[in-house]
Amino acid sequence: MRTVLLVEDNENNRYLFTLLLTHAGFKVLTAVNGREGLEKARADKPDAILLDIQMGEMDGYEVAEHLKVDPVLASIPIIGVSSFAMPGDRSRALSAGFAGYIEKPVDPEFFAATVQQLLHEAK
């Protein structure tokens, strides 16, 4: 069973994403902000991190920067999940080292399969 750390500040999104990923066979750890996400990543070393881009206190790009400079965490694939849907947002995330990018609102029917596909491609 693959473990995914979900860093998402919106309670409804955390609930939905956790439900969909758990149903697909993932073990899901959650964090409500970037700082907690970094702490849990260091403590639990998940197989992948789903990272909300737009969060208060520390946005997803800043969290990713911290992850990428940590030798223990740098190889963990990061998938950005964001309501930003402008043409350059996906390429910005990929340029920042994200393994993939999923736009919100997510399609519940395909969300877990998209995560699985992106993790497969990140190997």
Beta-carbon contacts of residue 80 (< 8 Å; ≥ 6 apart) = 51, 52, 53, 60, 64, 93, 98, 100, 101, 102
Measure the CA–CA gap between 121 and 123, rounded to whole angstroms. Answer: 6
Give tens-digit pLDDT for 7-40.
999 999 999 999 999 999 999 999 999 999 999 9
Q: Does residue 122 have a pLDDT over 90? A: no
Q: What is the pTM of this model?
A: 0.95
Q: Does residue 84 have a pLDDT over 80? A: no
CATH topology of domain 3-112: Rossmann fold (3.40.50)
Dihedral sign of CA atoms 46, 83, 31, 59 in order: positive
Q: Provide the residue ranges of all domains of the chain, joining segments of one domain with +.
A: 3-112
